[in-house]
Structure 1
Amino acid sequence: MGNRVGERLRRSLLGGIAILALTVAGTLAGTAAANAYVLSGCKWPGANIKYSNYTASLYYTASSQAAANWTTATDVNLSTGSGEPFSIWDNYNSSGAVGTTVRSCNIFGHYTSTAVYGNTFHMAALSANCKRLVYGHEIGHALGLNHASGNVMMYSSVSVCTVNGVYTVQPDDRNGVNSIY
C-alpha cells in the first residue's frame, strides 16, 4: 500500500513539474526578444538624460533628429543641455569608422561620460536619413546597446540605411532600450 501511495505521489509531482515547465516555456515564447543588449553593463542612472550637441550645422539636424527619434520611440527622454557628460560631436578622419562612441563607466555600472562622434569624412556623401542613422546608432551605444543583427538601427554597418532604408529606431532597438531603462 505504501508503494502505491508513493507511486501516485511521484506521478503527481512529475505531472506538476511538466505543467510548470510548459507554462514557463509558453510565457517565454510570448515575450518580445531584444537582440540589442546592454554593453558592459553600463547605463545612465535614469531615463531622463541630457546631452550637449557640438555638431556643425550640416550635422546638427541629423544628430538632433536622431536623439528625438530615441525619445519618441522609447522610455528614454533625451534633452539638450550645456556641458553635459553625454556629448555629440562631428569630426573629420579619413581612417576609422563612420561613427564612434567613447564611454566611461563607474563601479556602479553607470556612465560617467559618453562622447558620440560622427565622422564627416565618411558621412559627407550620405543622405540626410543615413546621417541620422549614423548618429542614432551611436546614441544607441551611448544608451547601452550593442550591435544587433537584422534590419535594425543597431546593425553594425551603414548599409542597413543605404541598402535597406533603415534610419530610425526599430522595434528591436526600442525593446533593448526599454529593457535597460
Structure 2
Amino acid sequence: MIKKKAKIFIFTLVFLFGIVSIAEAYFLLGTKWGSSSVTYRRDASMNWVDTCTAAGNSWSSDVTMKENSASKYVIYKISDSAKQWSGETNISTAYGITTSATTKINSYVMSNYTWTQKQSVIAHEMGHSLGLADNNGYLLFEKPEYICLMIGYDYWRNKLGVYTPKTDDRAGVNYLY
C-alpha cells in the first residue's frame, strides 16, 4: 500500500513538473483598450514632452500610441518623498475593456534618473495601460528570453539596460490587440 502511494505521489510530481512550463512569459491584467489606436494626454504637471513621446513611440510597432488632448488616459507628474515607487497606473474598466487610465510619475524618486531611465518608467507604465502586468520571470529563472520592459523593478530594468519594449512585451500586446 505504501509503495502504491509513493508511486502515485512520484507520478503526480513528475506529471506536474513535466508539463508545467511558461508557454508565454508575459502576464496580462485582464483588460485592454477597445482599439489598437491608444491615445494619452499629459497633465500640465507632466512637462517631460520628449520623454513621453519617446515612450509612446516605443510601443508603435504593436499599437499606435499618440498624444491627444481629449484622451481618457492621463499621465501626470508628482513629487512625493513618502512614496517609494517611480510610477503607478490605475485603470478603470467595463467588461474587460479599459475606459480610462491614469499614470502618476513620481519625479522625486526619479530625480537622479537619466532621460532614458525616465523613458523606461513611462513606457513601463504605458504597458500597464495597454493591459500588461508586471513580469518578474527573469528574476526567478534568469533566462535571457524573460528580459522585458514589464519587469516590475526600475533597478533591474536599468541594470539589464531595458528601456523599451522587448520581444515578450510585444508578444503580450500583440495577443491583446
2:117 & 2:111 partners in 1: Cα distance?
A: 10
Match of 2:35 in 1: 46
TM-score normalised by the chain length of structure 1 = 0.75
| 2:113 paired with 1:126 | yes
Identity %: 28
Match of 1:15 in 2: none
More helix, by proportion: 1
| 2:71 paired with 1:84 | yes
CA separation of 1:34/1:132 partners in 2, compared to 1, >3 Å: closer, same or farther? farther
CA RMSD of aligned residues (A): 1.9
- CA-to-partner distance for each residue in 1:157-177, whole Å, 9 max, x for gaps? 001333111101100000011
Match of 1:61 in 2: 50
2:81 & 2:35 partners in 1: Cα distance?
A: 36
Contact 1:71 1:77 in 2 (8 A): yes
- Structure with the greater alpha carbon radius of gyration: 1
Match of 2:3 in 1: none
Tell me, which stretches of 5 or more residues in structure 1 are unaligned? Answer: 1-24
Match of 2:88 in 1: 100
1:1-181 to 2 correspondences below 5 Å? 33-39=23-29, 41-54=30-43, 55-57=45-47, 59-72=48-61, 74=62, 76-96=63-83, 97-106=85-94, 108-148=95-135, 149-150=137-138, 151-181=147-177
Question: Which residue identity does 1:166 align to in structure 2?
Answer: V
1:110 & 1:92 partners in 2: Cα distance?
A: 30
Match of 1:9 in 2: none
What secondary structure sits across from 1:37 in the alignment? coil
Residue 33 of structure 1: CA displacement? 4.4
What secondary structure sits across from 1:89 in the alignment? strand
Residue 61 of structure 1: CA displacement? 1.7
2:117 & 2:36 partners in 1: Cα distance?
A: 26
Tell me, which stretches of 5 or more residues in structure 2 are unaligned? Answer: 1-18, 139-146
Q: Aligned pair count?
A: 147
